[in-house]
């Protein structure tokens, strides 16, 4: 995702242009901000973008792992219930005392 150029209209920086994350109003904003007229350090920009992308990847991975763990727990509960049903039905059919 590329940064967009916006214009500031506040008194201190009136009509000064700046870059910022286009997702600024949402929770997944990467918080990138830089004045357009300042010297642009590409290395810093690349590091920032990589960091933001890495955070996003880690977050998606954590959600995926959490979902998989919940699925495993659900399967274990189902398996335990099935074993209980089988043991119960076997004990009723068996005449062992």
Q: Are residues 90 and 78 in the same domain?
A: yes
Q: Is the pLDDT of residue 20 over 90?
A: no
Q: Are residues 46 and 92 in the same domain?
A: yes
Q: How far apart are CA 29 and CA 35, in angstroms?
A: 17
pLDDT confidence tier of residue 62, bands split at 50, 70 and 90? confident
Domain ranges, residue 21: 1-40
- 83 versus 18: which is more confidently predicted? 83
Q: Are residues 49 and 17 in the same domain?
A: no
Q: How many helices (H) and strands (E) does the chain have?
A: 1, 3
pTM recorded for the entire structure? 0.40
Q: Are residues 33 and 69 in the same domain?
A: no
Q: Are residues 52 and 32 in the same domain?
A: no
Question: How high is the mean pLDDT of the chain?
Answer: 79
Tokens representing residue 91 in the block: 């004990």
**55: Cβ contacts below 8 Å, ≥ 6 apart:** 30
Q: Given this model, what pLDDT does residue 83 score?
A: 96
């Amino acid at each position: 995702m590329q940064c967009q150029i916006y214009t500031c209209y506040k008194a201190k920086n009136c009509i000064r242009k700046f870059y910022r994350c286009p997702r600024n109003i949402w929770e997944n904003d990467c918080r990138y901000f830089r004045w357009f007229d300042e010297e642009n350090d590409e290395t810093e920009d690349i590091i920032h973008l990589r960091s933001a992308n890495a955070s996003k990847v880690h977050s998606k991975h954590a959600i995926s792992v959490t979902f998989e763990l919940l699925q495993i727990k659900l399967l274990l509960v189902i398996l335990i219930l099935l074993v209980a049903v089988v043991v119960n039905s076997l004990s009723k059919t068996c005449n062992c005392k």
